[in-house]
Copies of this chain bind each other. A is one copy, B any other.
């Protein structure tokens, strides 16, 4: 781990001054035992930061939360699963606003102090009366141990809850960060259908919180891909309520750097959990591209490999088919010289100078047979590098997505 921070239990409730909970509000008619509405309340007004999908088709809650995020102080996040409230037009925007108003009324604050998220099926209007009623009920039931319940409520096709918390030692005492996330389908760089909520009791100004969050997201959620589809609803929200009473974190200080490293750990851990729990995933693969002439080239090559249906099918079958990797690098359009390219499976050389290495194929097959492995490409042209976290493409992925 690190001497700077350590993992602790408690999830969203590990930081002081947060109440959490969930309830079944009736959106997921098929499964009344599983909650589908969650709430995270800061007992003290918090500063908030967020990053959102870059899809031009944005869900209504994304549009509303982007505006509300401008508020100097935020009090709560409300989120539902089972309905994405995307492609729902003006009634969708109204519905998202009414969700925030219902929470604001129950908590005695202003509507713009509430952030809202939805995830689930696209193109269906929200059952807004049910939601308003349940939001009011849930507001009085949030507790200091409800993080698990939130993690459970935002699951869609996820199979495991995704939760983490860390304690960070600063020069003036310690602060804590807690988080939950959901992923599963439509996972792609730039945060396809994933939600992540992060709490901290650190004292930090809004602009600096946004800066720290943007950096962490760039190195975690923006580097994962399951199927290359980016969703309309992706959202990462973070609340900081200053209850740790630390000296305000300032950019450029050692304390800020510690906070950043801990936040990086939180988001990267959740991002990896999302990939491992991707729909129909049987293998978790880290794709490293080194030696590119630019950061952008390194990223394009890594993403082309990570998104190639043929490469991913070969991994599913345990086939170290490096020809498909060479092919993907080639069509990514980056600057490359075929005769300089080396490719490694794990630490084992598969391609040397653009042609097959002398490694026996059985040795490469042993790497690809594992549940987790790395693919490293060295372009030998420059110093830029990039890493993407991805998966195989399985028959189960197709079956899970052929209708719902």
Contact A327 B186 (CB under 8 A): yes
Q: With A310-B185, A314-B403 given, is the CB distance from A231 to B398 under 8 Å? A: no
Interchain nearest-CB distance for A394 vs B (Å): 6
Interchain nearest-CB distance for A322 vs B (Å): 7
A137 at the interface (CB under 8 A from B): no
Q: Which A residues fall within an 8 A CB radius of B?
A: 54-58, 84, 86-89, 92, 121-124, 185-186, 188, 190, 192, 227-232, 307-310, 313-314, 316-319, 321-324, 326-331, 333-334, 336, 338-339, 351, 353-356, 393-395, 397-399, 401-404
Q: With A87-B338, A331-B229, A398-B395 given, is the CB distance from A57 to B326 under 8 Å? A: yes
> Chain B residues with Cβ under 8 A from A229's Cβ?
308-310, 324, 327-328, 331
Q: Residue A355 contacts which of B88, B186, B394 (CB distance < 8 angstroms)?
A: B88
Contact A56 B338 (CB under 8 A): yes
A55, A309, A339, A351 pick with most chain B CB within 10 angstroms: A309
Interchain nearest-CB distance for A196 vs B (Å): 19
- The prevalent SS among residues of A at the interface is loop
> Chain B residues with Cβ under 8 A from A402's Cβ?
313-314, 316-319
Q: How far is the CA of A227 from the CA of B304 in the complex (A)?
A: 13
Q: How far is the CA of A78 from the CA of B227 in the complex (A)?
A: 39
Q: Residue A398 contacts which of B89, B230, B307, B398 (CB distance < 8 angstroms)?
A: B398
Contact B89 A401 (CB under 8 A): no
Q: Residue A227 contacts which of B92, B310, B323 (CB distance < 8 angstroms)?
A: B310
Q: Across the two chains, which residue of chain B brings its CB closest to A328?
A: B229
23 A-B residue pairs with CB within 8 Å? A57-B327, A57-B330, A57-B338, A84-B323, A87-B338, A121-B323, A122-B326, A123-B326, A123-B356, A186-B310, A186-B327, A227-B309, A228-B309, A309-B397, A313-B397, A313-B402, A314-B402, A317-B402, A317-B403, A319-B403, A319-B404, A321-B404, A397-B398
Contact B327 A403 (CB under 8 A): no
Number of copies: 2
Closest 7 CB pairs of A and B: A122-B323, A317-B402, A57-B330, A317-B403, A313-B401, A319-B403, A55-B330
> Chain B residues with Cβ under 8 A from A313's Cβ?
397-398, 401-402
Contact B123 A355 (CB under 8 A): yes
A84, A324, A353 pick with most chain B CB within 10 angstroms: A324
Q: Residue A316 contacts which of B322, B334, B398 (CB distance < 8 angstroms)?
A: B398
Contact B185 A326 (CB under 8 A): no
A92, A314, A319, A326 pick with most chain B CB within 10 angstroms: A326
> Chain B residues with Cβ under 8 A from A324's Cβ?
122, 229
